[in-house]
């Protein structure tokens, strides 16, 4: 069963965000994860949504998603992520 990570993002520091984004792919590779979608909000058509950007990453299964998030390689990026943007990360199984 595949798992998807959806990140809702509001960028605070574009330079730091670019540095973070450039480093994330190397952390995904060991978990066979792939970037599905990255984009900016152009309209909220119902309800409320505070973030400007979204990313979707597919993992082979929920355990892989969890292990990626808990991996030392990704954990080392969290301080940079927190300086760069306000991010909400949500895992889904499909």
**What pLDDT score was predicted for residue 10?**
98
**What pLDDT score was predicted for residue 34?**
96
Side-chain-side CA neighbours of 6 within 13 Å: the count stands at 7
pLDDT band at 76 (very low <50, low <70, confident <90, very high): very high
Residue the block writes with tokens 């390689």: 73
Q: How far is CA 58 from CA 34, 35, 85, in A?
A: 5, 6, 21
In the chain, the number of structural domains is 1
What pTM did the predictor assign? 0.93
* CA–CA dist 46, 36 (Å, integer): 23
* CA–CA dist 17, 94 (Å, integer): 29
**78: helix, coil or strand?**
helix
CATH number at residue 72: 3.30.70.100
Domain containing residue 75: 3-42+51-93
Percentage of the chain beyond pLDDT 90 is 99
């Amino acid at each position: 069963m595949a798992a998807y990570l959806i990140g809702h993002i509001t960028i605070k520091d574009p330079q730091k965000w670019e540095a973070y984004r450039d480093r994330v792919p190397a952390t995904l590779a060991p978990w066979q994860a792939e970037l599905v979608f990255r984009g900016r909000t152009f309209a909220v058509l119902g309800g409320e949504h505070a973030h400007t950007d979204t990313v979707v990453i597919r993992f082979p299964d929920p355990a892989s998603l969890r292990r990626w998030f808990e991996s030392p390689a990704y954990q080392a990026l969290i301080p940079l992520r927190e300086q760069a943007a306000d991010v909400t990360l949500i895992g889904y199984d499909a």
